[in-house]
Each structure stands twice: as structure tokens, then as C-alpha cells.
Amino acid sequence: MKNFLPIYDDFNRAKKSMVEENVNVAGLESVLKNVDSLLSEYGVTPINALGEIFDPNLHEAVSIVEDPTLDDGTITKEIRKGYISQNRVIRPTIVEISKKSNLDKSKSE
């Protein structure tokens, strides 16, 4: 199943691109719905990371953005979806996380 996920990612990127270009995506949506059902039948579920606190067991951080309104380690963007099956991570979610600026930290000290 892990080897299939990059292909699934490609389908989702194609759909996003088609939507942005106002192309009819009904056929692709049907295929993706069937794939979602297949993944579910095999017990594969996506890791919903956006807005959650970074967990190295589930996520892989590749960038940091300063945001004084968020707690350190809040996931601000999912770059690549991760998946779990039977409580095991098949693939971690690649994410961008927040960090309070150093200036804000020094003001509070």
C-alpha cells in the first residue's frame, strides 16, 4: 500500500490543478472516491495534521514559519499527506510548523 500512495498523491495534485484551471474534474473525483473507499477497506486512514501540535511520531517538519499568534509547533501547512494503518504510521505527514518569533519571546521574559 505504501508504494501506491505517491500515485494517489499525483491524482490529488492533478485534481487540484484542474480545479484551479476550471476544468471539469467529475471523472477524476469519481476515481479518487473509489480509491478512498479502497484505502478505507484496507484500514488506511489519513493523518489530519493541520492545526495540530507537531508530533515526531506522525509528522516530519520541513519548514518553520514565525507566527506570534500560534503556539510553538502548531502545524500551519500540510505539504504531503501522511497515513496510518492499524495504529502504525505508513507514511508521516510532511508539514510546516509555527514558531513564535524570538522578539516576542524576549518581550515576555
Domain edges within the chain: 1-42, 46-101
**CA quadruple 73, 77, 80, 82: dihedral sign:** positive
pLDDT at 107: 52
Rounded CA gap, 43 and 60, in Å? Answer: 22
| Crossing angle of the two packed helices 5-20 and 26-41, in degrees rounded to 10 | 150
Rounded CA gap, 44 and 25, in Å? Answer: 24
HSE-up (13 A, CA, CB side) for residue 71:
6
pLDDT at 108: 53
Could you give the percent of the chain with pLDDT greater than 90?
71
Specify whether the CB–CB gap between 81 and 90 falls below 8 A.
no
Q: Which residues are 1's β-sheet partners?
A: none
Confidence of residue 94 (pLDDT cuts 50, 70, 90): very high
Q: Under DSSP, is residue 6 helix (H, G, I), strand (E, B) or coil?
A: helix
For residue 21, pLDDT over 70 is answered with: yes
For residue 75, pLDDT over 70 is answered with: yes
Give CATH superfamily name and number for 46-101.
Head domain of nucleotide exchange factor GrpE (2.30.22.10)
